[in-house]
Amino acid sequence: MIYNIAIAGATGAVGKELIRLLALRDFPVRQLTLLGTERSAGRQITTRFGDIQVQAFSEERLEGQDYVFFATNGDHSKQYAPIAVSKGAVVIDNSSAFRLDDDVPLVVPEVNPEALKGHQGIIANPNCSTIQMVAALNPIHQYSPIKRIVVSTYQAVSGAGEAAIAELNEQTRKILDDQPFEVKNFTKQIAFNVIPHIDVFLDNGYTKEEMKMVGETLKILSDPNIKISANCVRVPVIRAHSEAINIETEDYVGEQKARELLDDCKEIRVIDQRENAGYPTPIDASESMYTYVGRIREDISCDNGLALWVVADQLWKGAALNAIQIAEHLIKAK
């Protein structure tokens, strides 16, 4: 079968990658509809499915769609995703609008595909930093349940959109040319700097981004007893997030067994040599469909502890690719 596909937010960073990946993965597309704001309407986008004109988003353009990918903000998804479902579409939403809704599955296909059974038309795509973490930790968690996770993220500026990329590039040029520059999209200078602050602060001192990782991980792994602490940091990297993760498991796993478990996963690539360049970096993961793991070692600060380094392209595996993999799984399960 072939399907009618619509992308809401088609001209944004994730929307553009959805278009690319539908082609790269030979998704069975009958017709591709690209939806955007009034400002982007009329723009012509060249795709492998032909030259397609972006249309202004409207309820009427949700008619006749089999799958609608929402790459818009949460308020937009909240308003229009149920309408798309009422018109017969399956919605895969990239915003945070439905992620912790009890009636909406939150899915990483290689981790919890069973959550898709009985969905009610809307499926939530997890946060980018959550996706790569649970993808790497799930093989270990299935072998011996994880009791505690401490994670520090090093998140690329493209996670904040195209304007953030432009700001990093502009600040870098101006600093090197000894010219004044502005801070627009971040709380501080991002070029040659790191910012330990993503999203708004909450009453407990954590940021919303950090608490997303906590709540979403517990839901995806279906284990409310895991203790999780996250520290999310923006770094001057254009693409691909990195994470330093320490875990404690119920039983002893050990680095060799952990390496074997990760090696057995087709969606994971282990790069773990204890030598110069024997580990993955954001450049290695950029525009790759895999989650990369390295620096696997026993955590010497606790019993049954492991430490690892995880890198993935947050625009692909952390957003567009995972969304498409959800749709692929639904099609395969028919």
> Which residue of the set 241, 265, 302, 329 is catalytic?
241
> Which residue of the set 76, 119, 128, 232 is catalytic?
128
What residue has token string 């906590």? 214
Strands 305-312 and 291-298: antiparallel
- Write down the number of H helices and E strands in the chain: 8, 14
Give the pair of three-digit tokens for residue 232: 């999310």
Other C-beta atoms within 10 Å of 273: how many?
10
Could you say which DSSP state residue 264 is in? T
With b for 16 or more beta-carbon neighbours within 10 A and e for fewer, the 198-230 pattern comes to: bbeeeeeebbebbbbbbbbbbbbbeeeebebeb
Residue of 292, 273, 271 whose CA lies nearest to 282: 292
Hey, CA dihedral for 6, 10, 16, 17, is it positive or negative? negative
**Residues 6 or more apart in contact with residue 105 via CB below 8 angstroms:** 112, 115, 116, 119, 123, 124
Residue 193 CA to residue 295 CA, distance in Å, equals 24
**Active-site residue 265, yes or no?**
no
Q: What are phi and psi of 329, to 5 degrees?
A: -65, -40
Give the pair of three-digit tokens for residue 251: 């039983």
* Chain centroid offset of residue 290 CA: 12
Residue of 315, 312, 268, 286 whose CA lies nearest to 94: 315
Residue positions annotated with a catalytic role: 128, 241
